[in-house]
Homo-oligomer: A and B are copies of this chain.
Amino acid sequence: MEKPDFAKGGGILPVVVQDAESLKVLMLAYMNEEAWRKTVETGKAHYWSRSRGKIWQKGETSGHFQEVLEILIDCDMDTILIKVRQHGGGACHEGYGSCFYRRIDGDGWAVVEPRVFNPEEVYGK
């Protein structure tokens, strides 16, 4: 299979993560080639953490893993879109279903989603 063009992003590419059923955009993450390979092989989403400098399987701490149902690539082969079934409470480490839980509202940001889990209970303090 022709692989995504990891060289273009200096080794890592952005991955749009969408709920396969609701079509809600859950998060944006990054993959390097190893995270890509593990995701394709296992059917569970693996990402490259830019802050921690390592591969992680989404949900390895929280249990909120992502089952990958569909993998798409964009015209330039430099952005990946995965459609997933989100297991557990939600995708966002802040306790929301989606990381995009705030919307512009006048001069500020309004929270537009309910919290679905308590991050302190899931991740510890």
- Bound form: Cα–Cα A15–B8 in Å: 18
- Bound form: Cα–Cα A32–B71 in Å: 28
- Bound form: Cα–Cα A70–B23 in Å: 16
Contact B104 A79 (CB under 8 A): no
Contact A93 B75 (CB under 8 A): yes
Number of interface residues of A (CB under 8 A): 34
A60 interface hit (Cβ, 8 Å): no
Contact B103 A79 (CB under 8 A): no
Contact of A73 among B24, B70, B71, B102 (CB under 8 A): B102
Residues on B with C-beta less than 8 A from A27 are 74
A2 interface hit (Cβ, 8 Å): yes
A7 interface hit (Cβ, 8 Å): no
Residues 94-124 of A at the B interface (beta carbon under 8 Å): 94, 96, 99-104, 107-109, 112
- Bound form: Cα–Cα A112–B108 in Å: 39
Which of A1, A96, A100 neighbours the largest number of chain B CB atoms within 10 Å of its CB? A100
Q: Which 3 A-B pairs have the closest CB atoms?
A: A23-B23, A74-B99, A72-B100
